[in-house]
Structure 1
Amino acid sequence: MAFKLPVHCPSCETMLSVSQLSCPECSTVVSGNYDLPLFLQLTRDEQDFIMQFILNSGSLKEMAAQMGNSYPTVRNKLDDIIGKINQLKNKNGKDDD
């Protein structure tokens, strides 16, 4: 079973940060306090939508057909995700990730 990476604190719902990474090959451990990459701060549904967008070469028309939705519905979903990404970028104080 694949475990889903938790991104919010189960106690207070604050965004979690990465504090340790380890190499399974040589057991090297890197510790610190790092923000999650922006993509991982999105919901699983938003991540899946972006993956489908990429796999469909950016064709919202193709995605709408596959999803059984109208083009405007799919376009609105993309606009919502773009808005969320911009909010996260501004909240994190970063221009690029």
Structure 2
Amino acid sequence: MSETPHFVVHDEGDSVGVVVVEGVKAGQDLVGWIMDQDRTIHFTVKDDIPIGHKLAIRDIEADSTVIKYSVDIGRTISPIAQGEHLHVHNTKTKRW
């Protein structure tokens, strides 16, 4: 990989990536690394996102399953656009 990634994604079937650098700001062009396929993706982030937090790598409809590291981690409670912060304000666990 020739570009330093801002976020990583386990598999292209995932719906989110994890930010791996400090200081991601809304409007910034990001590079993501999809590890299993060893390829990069690019898009503009819509929100400030702290390191370690998730971002949508594609548009996700309301009441959809969220996949991270090839695992179901919850469901959306509102639509989430590519590049938006995915956190407790728009995603809930399915455990309870």
User: Normalising by the residue count of structure 1, what TM-score does the alignment of the two structures yield?
Assistant: 0.24
The structure with the larger Rg is 1
Whichever structure has more helix as a proportion of its residues is: 1
User: Normalising by the residue count of structure 2, what TM-score does the alignment of the two structures yield?
Assistant: 0.24
Q: Which has the higher contact order (CA 8 A, sep 6+)?
A: 2
